[in-house]
Structure 1
Amino acid sequence: MQSFIKRFSRARVAAFFIALVVSAGLVAPATASPQAVLNIGYQKGTPLTLLKARGTLDSALAAKGYAVRWTEFPAGPPLLEAMNAGSIDIGYTGAPPPIFAQAAGSRIVYLAAEPAGPHNEALIVRSGSPLKRVADLKGHTVAVARGSSSHYLLVAALAQAGLRYEDVKPVFLSPADARAAFDSGHVDAWAIWDPYLAVVQAAEPTRTLADYASGIAQPYSFFLGAPDFVHAHRDIVETVLRAVADGDAWVGAHRDETAQLIARETGVPPAIVTSFLARSRFGILPLDAPVLASQQRIADVFATQHLIPHAVTVNAIAVPVKIGAQ
């Protein structure tokens, strides 16, 4: 009898301590379900950067049982490589990265678009450079991220100036490596986008040879998704795009606060963020006929120049989703 009492007492003590540990949050109750995770790829200064900085999307998705894992990329092509590999569910890039990705057989889909400002990327030289016009680039080196939005700017600017792509010597570099090569004089020109463009313009005298104000057709930027995730979780995708639409509307009346938030998130000084925000455009767009036609024209340019292995049909990987109050 005494043995039974001792065993019973030990059982009560053990139960007491287990209850204490669980109530203190040191061990999760067995009934707790793991939180789902949405993996978002973003680049500095994009609409997704603002969502991350404000925390509005994290709050909206927490109510649906999702946590957000944010991963920063230096450019669009590596972001879409990660999406194809299954580590990113939703991302945002300029126009060329999804074209290169589709041509390579990557599993991605278009979700929505955003306009870009005519001065948000440029083909630049140092102010003391003897190169005054795009035509002067013949035989010279140009730093550019392969498959990036500025890759299209370079191709289009050369064609506008009567040059072939083969007339220049492209040097494929990430933005950080391109900045070092540009500053040291190891390349003659640089095709680059904001915020990297705004940073270099603030740091040293440069001259713009071409941008989208030079008569080159302005491309769009795009929200993209991993097809399996998009088809299985349409409600989550639409929650993200609604948050983007709300963020775009919020920027209009909160420019200074936007600059401070993005500066804090990216490490870019607020004055520089303010400068590129002033030349940026906002407003998420559906994948309508004009948007898709614009993207198809860019895809055809890359195919004609043999910069992608074969022509692609943009509309084949477009997935219409609801945006805002649609």
Structure 2
Amino acid sequence: MLRRLILPAAVLLALSTACAATPDAATPAASGVPTVKLGFSAWPGWFPWQVADKKGLFAKNGVKVELKYFDSYTDSLNALATGNIDANSQTLNDTLASVAGGAKETVVLVNDNSTGNDQIIAKEGVKSLADLKGRTVAAEQGTVDHYLLLLALRKAGLSEADVEFQPLPTDAAAAAFVAGRVDAVGVFAPFTTTALKRAGSTTIASSKDFPGAIPDHLVVTADLLGRDPKAVQALVKTWFDTITWIGANRAEAVQIMAERAGVSVADYETYEKGTTIFTLEENRTAFAGELPARAKQISEFLVSSKLVDAAPSLEGLLEPKFVQAVQP
């Protein structure tokens, strides 16, 4: 369950093999209707797609969807960048990195903001970010948790040069921390649950400390946007229908999402405050001002931190018409 990778351009444009899971329920649709391949991976703000698939909500909106779950978030990003899927849930950071690498992608929906489910977790005795100086810190290189680490270090007057950075896949980073091989780790839910099993460990920084820094989105290829805007509209409408269904059927929905996440219902419930799902009105407000400003800010940070070589073009990055067209 690797998630939310800010990829270097060379990796992003490389071909990769998509790891698709078989959906829990087939999605019926009229014959002759093109299938939209929609990717997602491990993150609480994206598990509602599993509910949409299981409860037949895509079909109710007239769109035939092949829902593809990726164990590796990296694979989902590469699949979208190379056109092997039509749409994917991914962060704004990753989308900007993809565009910087030459991909043609557009944000059409805000799924959520991370408000605590991305965390820097440290061993006993490391009580603050300043205490990380000279310590070994693991995170997946280029992920938004690497990005969060850089933001947190900067806030503390430090840089990556002040720590011994260990680049590890997110699941391996959490395991290394629990085994005592590193002093701190940057991970996202559900891997936060794993990391916090280390006795005496504590969260010393999280996305809650950096409001709006890690927004998550539905992103589509320029090809899908050009050839089938009705399908894009149906995906966006299905998202809001799904959030409504979850609100009315919470127990069943949480069970579906926890099963997809591979955690207990009790553990899944702890993620609620750390991921803030955006309402339709919040989507419209974000597209009107917050998202363009955030895209520029993140782009500048990615360049200054040398996570990308050059700032991506923001032209065509954001398309608000689909959330604007949804009827409440």
Pair 1:229–1:54, CA change in 2 (3 A): closer
Pair 1:301–1:278, CA change in 2 (3 A): closer
Deviations along 1:68-111, one digit per CA (max 9) or x if unpaired, are 24232433x43221111111111112232112212222232222
The match for 1:61 is: 59
Deviations along 1:20-49, one digit per CA (max 9) or x if unpaired, are xxxxxxxxxxxx956632111111244442
Asked whether the 8 Å contact 2:44–2:271 carries over to 1, the reply is no
Q: Which amino acid aligns with 1:88?
A: I
The match for 1:236 is: 231
Q: Which amino acid aligns with 1:187?
A: V
Q: Which amino acid aligns with 2:70?
A: E
Asked whether the 8 Å contact 1:303–1:311 carries over to 2, the reply is yes
> CA separation in 1, counterparts of 2:33 and 2:128?
55
Deviations along 1:157-210, one digit per CA (max 9) or x if unpaired, are 011000123222332222221122212222221111122213433675521111
1:178 aligns with 2:176: no
> CA separation in 2, counterparts of 1:269 and 1:110?
32
Pair 1:216–1:170, CA change in 2 (3 A): farther
The DSSP-based 3-state class of the residue aligned with 1:224 is strand
1:301 aligns with 2:301: yes
Pair 1:244–1:199, CA change in 2 (3 A): farther
C-alpha deviation, 1:151, in angstroms: 2.2
Structure 2: any 5+ residue segments left out of the alignment? 1-29
TM-score normalised to the size of structure 1? 0.80
The match for 1:311 is: 311
> CA separation in 1, counterparts of 2:63 and 2:308?
40
Q: Which amino acid aligns with 2:59?
A: L
> CA separation in 2, counterparts of 1:103 and 1:59?
34
The DSSP-based 3-state class of the residue aligned with 1:116 is strand
Residue correspondences, number: 292
The match for 1:104 is: 101
- Structure showing greater Rg: 1
1:225 aligns with 2:220: yes
Asked whether the 8 Å contact 2:61–2:237 carries over to 1, the reply is no
Q: Where in structure 2 are the equivalents of 1:94-243 lying within 5 Å?
A: 94-126=91-123, 128=124, 130-201=125-196, 205-214=200-209, 218-243=213-238
Asked whether the 8 Å contact 2:255–2:265 carries over to 1, the reply is yes
Pair 1:268–1:194, CA change in 2 (3 A): same
> CA separation in 2, counterparts of 1:57 and 1:174?
33
> CA separation in 2, counterparts of 1:56 and 1:268?
18
Q: Which amino acid aligns with 2:38?
A: I
Structure 1: any 5+ residue segments left out of the alignment? 1-31
Deviations along 1:123-158, one digit per CA (max 9) or x if unpaired, are 1113x2x32211222233222223322122111101
The match for 2:26 is: none
Pair 1:93–1:67, CA change in 2 (3 A): closer
TM-score normalised to the size of structure 2? 0.79
The match for 1:14 is: none
Pair 1:224–1:217, CA change in 2 (3 A): closer
Asked whether the 8 Å contact 1:37–1:69 carries over to 2, the reply is no
Aligned mate of 1:50, from 42, 48, 51: 48
> CA separation in 2, counterparts of 1:267 and 1:304?
37
Q: Which amino acid aligns with 1:319?
A: E
Asked whether the 8 Å contact 2:113–2:212 carries over to 1, the reply is no
The structure richer in helix per residue is 1
The root-mean-square deviation of aligned C-alpha atoms, in Å, is 2.6
The DSSP-based 3-state class of the residue aligned with 1:105 is coil
The DSSP-based 3-state class of the residue aligned with 1:154 is helix
> CA separation in 2, counterparts of 1:217 and 1:51?
22
The match for 2:10 is: none
Asked whether the 8 Å contact 2:100–2:313 carries over to 1, the reply is no
> CA separation in 2, counterparts of 1:205 and 1:325?
49
The match for 2:25 is: none
Q: Where in structure 2 are the equivalents of 1:67-106 lying within 5 Å?
A: 67-75=65-73, 77-106=74-103
1:251 aligns with 2:246: yes
